[in-house]
Amino acid sequence: MLRIVCLLLVASWTSAADTPELKVVAGKALPKTCTLELNAHAGKQNIAILDLTKPVKLPHAGPYDVIVNAKGQLPIRILTKWKPVAELKLSDHVGTVFVRGDEFPRAERIVITSGDDAGPGEKGHKPIQSASDYKQDMVVLPGVYTVWVVPANGARAQKIAEKIRVLAGRETRVE
């Protein structure tokens, strides 16, 4: 009996030691309102990280799908089937697009799409990211994108920039 209890204690100690404490490094380009979701596989517990400044003890070693959420924006899946390590640098996986908007019409939405998207309101349109106003850092994966403005007056969406290149850890500005 004592042997079984000792084995259970060792098993629980090793499984607790296998679950890492995760430190998230947000980087300078990300909005301050970012949160993370760690969606577990195989029916394990999901994690929501609301404060990126504090380390989080994970309940299991994963794998997780890592999703970045910025207030008022679409969620962005940055990693799939990720096995946790001690530190996750978000700036290695995402960049941002900042649309100044001084020369553009008053916006209902700012929309980021792939280069071949027909735009908001068109058949087959798939937004990659959107925000409700100008002067917000919109979180996207590194890549090449087109930026659209959906005017507040109900007019047709306007393409304001195309072939903008977003790099990981960097802010790309549309003036």
pLDDT tens per residue across span 25-56? 988 878 888 999 999 987 788 999 999 999 99
* pLDDT greater than 80 at residue 13: no
The confidence score (pLDDT) of residue 31 equals 85
Of 66, 92, 118, which residue is a domain's last? 92
Cα–Cα dist 79/90, whole Å = 10
Q: Which of 35, 64, 92 is the last residue of a domain?
A: 92
With bands split at pLDDT 50, 70 and 90, how would you rate the model's confidence at 3? very low
Average pLDDT over residues 13-35: 75
CATH number for the domain including 102?
2.60.40
Give residue 167's domain range. 95-174
Q: What is the pLDDT of residues 58-90, one digit of tens each?
A: 988 889 999 999 999 999 999 999 999 999 999
Band (17; pLDDT cuts 50, 70, 90): low
Number of Cβ within a 10 Å radius of residue 13: 10
**pLDDT for 14:** 39
Instruction: Give residue 25's region: left, alpha or beta (phi > 0; psi -120 to 50).
Output: beta
What percent of the chain clears pLDDT 70, i.e. is strictly above it? 89
Q: Is residue 29 part of a domain?
A: yes
In a domain, 12, yes or no: no
